[in-house]
A = this chain, B = another copy of it.
Amino acid sequence: MSKLVIVGTVAFDAIETPFGKTDKILGGAATYIGLAASLFKVDGAIVSIVGGDFPKENLRMLEEKGMDLSGLEVVESGKTFFWSGKYHNDMNTRDTLVTDLNVLADFNPKVPENYRNSQVVMLGNLHPLVQLSVIEQMESPRLIVLDTMNFWMDNALDDLKKVIAKVDVVTINDEEARQLSGEYSLVKAAQKIMEMGPEYVVIKKGEHGALLFGNDDVFFAPAMPLREVFDPTGAGDTFAGGFTGYLAKTENYTFSNMKNAVINGSALASFCVEKFGPERLLELSNKEVYQRLNQFKSLTQFDIRLT
């Protein structure tokens, strides 16, 4: 089994959906990624930063899930990153109400000494230069996966392009792929992004599933059709955690195994949206994951004999 380094926010979120609203609850990209990856029992480390207001029991919970937190800096005099958002009725769009960077404004990531030889690196959505700094601390990673968003395309495009050139996989949503590439067709968009450096691109389409592109190959995983999507917060990060967690566990970085990783990521994301924040991931059992993977099989597998 490979070691996995995760960099990203560990944060407070306040979320409003048509189904209700929360006070400040546990959030952040690295939280969702770590919780998802932990289901594969990988040896993972979270590199992040929180303030003195961050509950110690949340840190203990992440450690109990198997995450090494020696690279998670606690600034006792500072406050934890806070995001607040409100989803529209269709759940596909949201307004950001508050973004308080707090301690994240001066985040200087330090990968723990004994994780610098990790084979898999998951760069959660953060300033591209923070992501770059993590790459530079790694010895010889086998697979670097980068998640990003339109904010960095608008505000730090040159830095973003620098880090994209150094990674193996980019995960990005459909509108962002169009913005980054200038192409409407997702097939063309993925090709243009691959020309920037990465060998693979995952385009996330929310409730419409995810596409994996590599060289001349393409694979599609649907989102699980659900009776209700309760809160989409963290679904993309959960996908990334399932994707990299599965790859770290299986140590097989071929396109064929990445298909399985996409299915595992999609299965975990389908749980994430069932409750507010990371609540559903926290209580998730391996038996439930197994059943959901079986549902994905019957959802997508067919038997046409082509001779």
Contacts and interface: CB of A to CB of B under 8 A. Distances in A.
A290 B306 CA distance: 7
A306 B287 CA distance: 11
Interface stretch (A71-79, A139-147, A256-264): A256-264
A297 B293 contact: no
Interface string A176-202: 000000001111100000000000000
A218 interface: yes
Interface in A260-307: 260, 262-264, 290, 293-294, 297-304, 306
B263 A225 contact: no
B300 A300 contact: yes
Interface stretch (A53-61, A94-102, A119-127, A205-213): A205-213
A225 B220 contact: yes
Contact of A293 (B225, B263, B264, B304): B304
Contacts of A205: 208
B299 A306 contact: no
A55 B186 CA distance: 39
A19 interface: no
Contacts of A304: 260, 263-264, 293, 297
A71 to B, nearest CB: 31
A302 B260 contact: yes
Contacts of A209: 208-209, 222
A4 to B, nearest CB: 19
A189 to B, nearest CB: 10
Contact of A185 (B226, B259, B263): B226
Interface in A194-243: 205, 208-209, 211, 217-220, 222, 225-229
Nearest to A190: B225
Contacts of A264: 304
14 contacts: A89-B184, A185-B226, A185-B227, A186-B225, A211-B225, A217-B298, A218-B298, A219-B299, A222-B222, A259-B302, A259-B303, A260-B302, A263-B302, A300-B301
